[in-house]
């Protein structure tokens, strides 16, 4: 799989080298639905070239935060900045033009189009040449083992294969920031290595900053440079994967007091 990152890219657009101000940031963000706060004064950031894992129990606010970053959910308080520019009020399509891409838990693919056509559209949407779109698509389909279904309408695919197509389409756009919402859902364990390599390829190809949400916590922790934990709409913890694994508050949020007791027992001399 590593051949992806090593092959020359034909007529690829020049990628600007990230600088210190290249960050996607939300500051003091609060979101409420029917009077209930889904996010409460959340501060969050991702740098270009960094993978930030976003984990937490069901209902913690992970997807809501992704929706805030990409413009699908408005804020009660707080702001969102992209590389120093305030984008808090920008619509999703305008944020996409600035280099924000994402996947969705349920794909949102063009069901009547083939796998190949869906992925090519991801590249064409950012105005690369058709030749480049075809080249990028071919490499992504090979990477995600989708060549055998390349000309099959996506509506006929399994949920797992549709998830792979969604990932390929997002990566094909060579975004500045790329957010994955449950990309491993429905995938067998054997597919996770492929998925991880494609995420790493997105970083090498376009210097993308990655935000990764998935219920497979080990998958997230193994890929992430930094991990942010949400619980009841608030940031519970932040740190390296090793720090998060050993954080008593995180274990308690996921597993309750029994989990804390097991962690303490495992650390006992």
CATH classification code of 3-267: 3.40.50.300
221 near 227, Cβ under 8 Å?
yes
- Report whether pLDDT(164) > 70: yes
Residue 228: half-sphere exposure toward Cβ, Cα within 13 Å:
22
- Report whether pLDDT(154) > 80: yes
Q: How many CB atoms lie within 10 A of CB 136?
A: 24
Round to whole Å and give the CA distance between 13 and 129: 10
pLDDT, tens only, 85-124:
999 999 999 998 899 999 887 767 888 899 999 999 888 8
Query: Residue 106 belongs to what H/E stretch?
Result: none
pLDDT, tens only, 239-255:
999 999 888 888 777 75
pLDDT at 2 (0 to 100)? 36
- Whole-structure pTM value: 0.81
pLDDT, tens only, 17-62:
445 568 999 999 999 998 899 999 999 999 999 999 999 998 999 9
pLDDT, tens only, 168-186:
888 888 889 999 998 888 7
């Amino acid at each position: 799989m590593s051949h992806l990152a090593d092959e020359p890219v034909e007529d690829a657009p020049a990628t600007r080298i990230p600088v210190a101000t290249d960050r996607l940031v939300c500051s003091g963000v609060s979101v409420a639905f029917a009077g209930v706060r889904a996010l409460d004064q959340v501060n969050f950031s991702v740098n270009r070239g960094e993978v930030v894992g976003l984990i937490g129990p069901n209902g913690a606010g992970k997807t809501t935060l992704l929706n805030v970053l990409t413009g699908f959910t408005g804020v009660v308080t707080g702001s969102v900045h992209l590389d120093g520019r305030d984008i808090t009020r920008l619509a999703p399509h305008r944020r996409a033009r600035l280099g924000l891409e994402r996947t969705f838990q349920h794909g949102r693919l063009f069901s009547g189009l083939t796998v190949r056509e869906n992925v090519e559209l991801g590249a064409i949407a950012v105005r690369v040449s058709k030749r480049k779109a075809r080249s990028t698509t071919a490499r992504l389909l090979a990477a995600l083992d989708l060549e055998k279904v390349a000309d099959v309408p996506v509506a006929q695919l399994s949920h797992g294969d549709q998830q792979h197509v969604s990932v390929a389409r997002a990566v094909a756009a060579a975004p500045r920031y790329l957010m994955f919402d449950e990309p491993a859902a429905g995938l067998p364990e054997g597919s996770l290595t492929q998925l991880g390599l494609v995420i790493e390829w997105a970083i090498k190809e376009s210097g993308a900053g990655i935000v990764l949400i998935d219920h497979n916590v080990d998958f997230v922790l193994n890929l992430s440079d930094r991990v942010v934990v949400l619980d009841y709409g608030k940031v519970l913890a932040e740190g390296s994967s090793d720090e998060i694994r050993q954080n008593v508050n995180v274990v308690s949020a996921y597993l309750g007091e029994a989990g804390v007791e097991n962690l303490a027992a495992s650390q006992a001399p």
